[in-house]
Amino acid sequence: MAAYDFRTVIGADWSLPKQARLGPAIRTRRIFNESSGYSILAKDGGTDVNPALWKDYPHRSFVNLPVVTLADSRKEMIDPKAMLSFTKRYGLLDNLLTFEEDKEWTEFLESEGLLDYLKEKEDRLMVVESSPSPDTISKEIVGYSSEQIRKLVHTQSLLKYAWRSGDERALDAIDNYLSSGLPIHFDIDEGCFHIYVVNVQRLILMLFLRDHAEGKTAICANPDCPAPYFLKSRKTQKICEAGGCVTWAQRNYALKWWRENESKASKKNKKGTAK
Ligand SMILES: [Zn+2]
């Protein structure tokens, strides 16, 4: 079958979580202290996401979120404050689920000691507003459970690896993830496909695949760059556009130029002598 080119536009169609904030790590029947992790607590049903307010692309923002090592477990997690502000701006990487049944979840919360915790934090309202089933409760109480937070660093690592290496296996993994039941809806307007993605994780991966295919994904040459994963606007671009990196490049330019020309000159001399 022949393939036909179509103009396609990707849109964002999801809600931001309401009142997102940092919470403690909650794992089976225990609430842990700060040094062993965190969760992000949120309520469902915030405002619609507005990409016009984004100062940076979500894939670039996510892949550059700083990673910290926790004092207790020595596990690596995305820095809590950075993760929270990402979540507030771009939404959850997975959608918060909404539920219809309200039977066993209060009992479950009580047994886990979570009701008191939520009461203390005045988060009860959220629990009353939506009624999750026991198996998905952790997803409902928190924007991200501590378990999900732990997994997020793996998601980020995969993206980092794919960004740096362009390894086909990593690209395939992303490809497979996206093509397995991509939850989208679309319409056609004046011969142009409008595809709406329903969570930021999918948008991140789609934008990454697009920019990688166009040869735009790059790593900033400044070893001290705070956000080294960047998108080239010119083919030859080696450093990101952040102020510090531009200064760094200018400072190093003269030195580099001399080094390069010196080595070229010495090669030329060698060639000369070989002849
Ligand atoms: Zn940089």
State the pLDDT at residue 25. 74
- Residue 94's pLDDT is what? 63
pLDDT for 104? 39
- Distance in Å, CA 12 to ligand 1 centroid: 28
pTM of the model: 0.74
202-234 tens-digit pLDDT: 899 999 999 999 999 999 999 999 999 999 999
The closest of 122, 130, 139 to 98, measured between CA atoms, is: 130
Q: Ligand 1 center to residue 64 CA distance, Å?
A: 11
Ligand 1 centroid, distance to 248 Cα (angstroms)? 9
| Inter-residue contact 76 to 67 (CB < 8 Å) | yes
Q: What is the pLDDT of residues 86-111, one digit of tens each?
A: 999 999 886 433 222 333 344 545 55
Q: What is the mean pLDDT of residues 56-66?
A: 95
Distance 99 CA to ligand 1 centre (A): 44
Q: What is the pLDDT of residues 127-139, one digit of tens each?
A: 333 333 444 444 4
77 neighbors 70 (Cβ within 8 angstroms) = yes
Per the CB < 8 A criterion, the answer to whether 170 and 161 are in contact is: yes
**What are the residues whose beta carbon lies below 5 Å from ligand 1 (ion)?**
220, 222, 225, 240, 242, 245
- Cβ-in-10-Å burial (0-12, 13-18, 19+) of 29 comes to exposed
What SS3 state is found at 120? helix
CA of 238 to the centre of ligand 1 (A): 9
Mean pLDDT lowest among 11-20, 75-84, 158-167, 171-180: 171-180
Query: From ligand 1's centre to the CA of 60, what distance in Å?
Result: 12
CA of 113 to the centre of ligand 1 (A): 45
Q: How far is the CA of 226 from the centre of ligand 1 (A)?
A: 7
pLDDT greater than 50 at residue 112: yes
Q: Residue 15's CB: how many other CB atoms inside 10 A? A: 16
252 alpha carbon – ligand 1 mean position (Å): 14
Per-residue pLDDT tens for 174-202?
888 787 766 667 888 888 988 888 888 88
